[in-house]
Amino acid sequence: MSQWAIISGIEGNLTAYEAVLADLKRQKQTVDELYILGDAIAPTPESQKVIQRLKSPRIGELIPHICQGWWEEQLLILHCLGRTAEPTELIDEYGMEMTKTLWDAIPRSEIEWVRSLDFGFFELDCLLIHGSSVSVSDKLTPDTSPIQMLDRLMRMDANTLFCGRSGQAFEYEIQQGEVTSSLTALDRIHSPQAVLVKPRRIVGVGNVGRISGRATYTLYNPYTNLVEFKMVRYGSGKGFQTIKSQLKTSGTQFKRIKPHN
| pLDDT tens digit at each of 261 positions of the chain | 689 999 999 999 999 999 999 999 999 899 999 999 999 999 999 999 999 999 999 999 999 999 999 999 999 999 999 888 889 999 999 999 999 999 999 999 999 999 999 999 999 999 999 999 999 999 999 999 988 998 899 888 899 999 999 999 999 998 865 655 556 666 666 666 656 667 899 999 999 999 999 999 999 999 999 999 999 999 865 544 444 433 333 333 444 444 443
- Judge contact between 38 and 67, C-beta under 8 A: yes
The dihedral built from the CA positions of residue 222, 206, 148 and 116, taken in this order, carries a sign that is: negative
- Rounded to 10°, the helix 88-105/70-78 angle is 80
In CATH, what class is 4-257? alpha beta
Q: Domain limits of the chain?
A: 4-257
How far is the C-alpha of 39 from the C-alpha of 51, rounded, in Å?
A: 11
How far is the C-alpha of 125 from the C-alpha of 49, rounded, in Å?
A: 34
How far is the C-alpha of 22 from the C-alpha of 215, rounded, in Å?
A: 12
Task: Spell out where the chain has E strands.
Answer: 4-7, 33-37, 65-67, 120-123, 126-129, 160-163, 169-174, 177-181, 193-197, 200-205, 214-221, 226-233, 239-242, 253-257
Closest Cα to residue 215, out of 44, 20, 33? Answer: 20
